[in-house]
Amino acid sequence: MEIVQRFFNVFIWLSFISTALITAYYLFQFIRVYKNNTHFPNFILEKNLGKLEGNIKHLKEVIVVANTIEEPQHKLREAVTANFLKGIKYTFVISDNNYDDEFEKYVLIFEPLAKLSLRKKSEAGITNLSNILQIQRLNEKWYTFPYIFYKIQGANNSEIIHAYRGVEIGEGIAKAYELLKPEIAHTIATFFTKYLSEPSAEDNNLIIRNTALELINKGHAN
């Protein structure tokens, strides 16, 4: 009887240890995933945008689509400068009808920040300005909400896209932003990439293009 009791006690202890180890493993996995991912709030004020943008893990590129270019202030300016130093690229996509005027702002506002970063010791060893900064013309008259796309390096060389739509029409930097659903963010970002890469090509994808424009103008958000 005593032997049976001992075996029972050992079994209880082994079960306890096994449960503790399994719990610790899943807790570790949760912490690891949490630490390696950025929380994107459904709604964010412009004053908090810099804190978010400066702390996005595995960020590769920031794409700003807007009617105009505005100078970032305070925390957002600090985040842009810090990201340039990390080798993170900023791409500005500007409305066709405003492009020439906005290009001057781009040169005056963002090129000095990027060039200053290049003169410093860059963490990513970037030496070419075009690797961290560029401006592109959107071959459409753009007077709607501004968008910000964050391209993030995922596992196995995958790419994750998070996007925000500003709540004000025609602004370069809105007072607040709404988070887009992931599938909408990816659709719109893909549209811009393809549309800008072939600006003079015959529009053989009119249905896809119009659908994307409809999504952009409606600004589906969470």
Q: Over the stretch 143-187, which tens digit does the pLDDT of each residue have?
A: 788 999 999 988 777 888 899 999 998 888 999 999 998 888 888
What pLDDT, on the 0 to 100 scale, is given for residue 149? 94
C-alpha 33 chain-centroid distance: 18
Is the same domain home to 172 and 76? Answer: yes
The mean per-residue pLDDT over the stretch 73-82 comes to 92
Residues 77 and 147 in one domain: yes
How many independent structural domains does the chain possess? 2
CB hemisphere CA count around 66 (13 angstroms): 27
Name, in order, each residue with C-beta under 8 angstroms of 71's C-beta and a sequence gap of 6 or more: 77, 105, 109
Q: Are residues 148 and 210 in the same domain?
A: yes
185 and 107 in one domain?
yes
Q: Are residues 118 and 27 in the same domain?
A: no
Expressed as residue numbers, the domain containing 13 is 1-35
């370069």: which residue's tokens? Answer: 172
Shared domain for 52 and 81, answered yes or no, is yes
Q: Residues 6 or more apart from 95 whose CB is under 8 A from it?
A: 66, 67, 68, 102, 138, 140, 141, 142, 143
Query: Are 19 and 112 in the same domain?
Result: no
Helix (H) / strand (E) element for 94: namely: strand 89-95
Q: How far apart are CA 99 and CA 16, in angstroms?
A: 67
- Give me the percent of the chain exceeding a pLDDT of 70: 66
Asked if 69 and 163 sit in the same domain, the reply is yes
Assess contact for 129 and 152: CB atoms under 8 A.
Answer: no
Spatial contact of 79 and 117, defined as CB atoms under 8 Å apart: no
For the chain, give the mean pLDDT: 76
pLDDT higher than threshold 70 for residue 203? no
Here the CATH number for the domain that contains residue 58 is 3.30.870.10
Question: Given a cut of 60, is residue 27 above it in pLDDT?
Answer: no
Cα–Cα distance between 142 and 138 in angstroms, integer? 8
Q: Could you count the other beta carbons within 10 Å of the beta carbon of residue 81? A: 16
For residue 118, give the DSSP letter.
H
Q: Are residues 89 and 53 in the same domain?
A: yes
142, 57: one domain: yes
Tokens of 212: 């994307």
Same domain, 140 and 108: yes
